[in-house]
Amino acid sequence: MEILTTNGITVSVETQYLPAHSDPRASKFIFGYFITIENGSPHTVQLMSRRWMIHDASTTVREVKGDGVVGQQPVLQPGESYSYSSYCDLSAEIGKMQGAYLMTRIEDRSNFEVIIPEFKLIVPFKLN
């Protein structure tokens, strides 16, 4: 698990290779990831958007941007958390993702960035 705290917001990430959805012969490797966002700040915040940089061993780099996460823009009171799962497809057995969330403090509508910790995506047979 990868964990990082920025501006009082902690992001933790767990990953899993999904062999039932992958096709190595076609260079299609699917990874699931589970993210928990915890508001340890004294402010109520809202997740407005996300930005991902996705790298794989074939030197492909993709940038993905969008509003919210999985169709949601959650509001987190101090002490609350929000979890979601999603997936990523790679064209190689090894890759990594890193990114950031744009958050807004509800009280004063100020924006700030929360860094998503870099995490590796590696098919299990590459670890042996």
As a CATH number, domain 2-126 is 2.60.40.1470
Question: 29-57 pLDDT, tens per residue?
Answer: 999 999 999 999 999 999 999 999 999 88
Q: What is the pTM of this model?
A: 0.89
**Alpha helix (H) residue ranges in 33-102:** none
Q: What pLDDT, in 10s, does the model give residues 79-128? A: 999 999 999 999 999 999 999 999 999 999 999 999 999 999 999 876 65
Cα distances (angstroms) measured from residue 126 to each of 1, 15, 39, 92: 19, 15, 36, 11
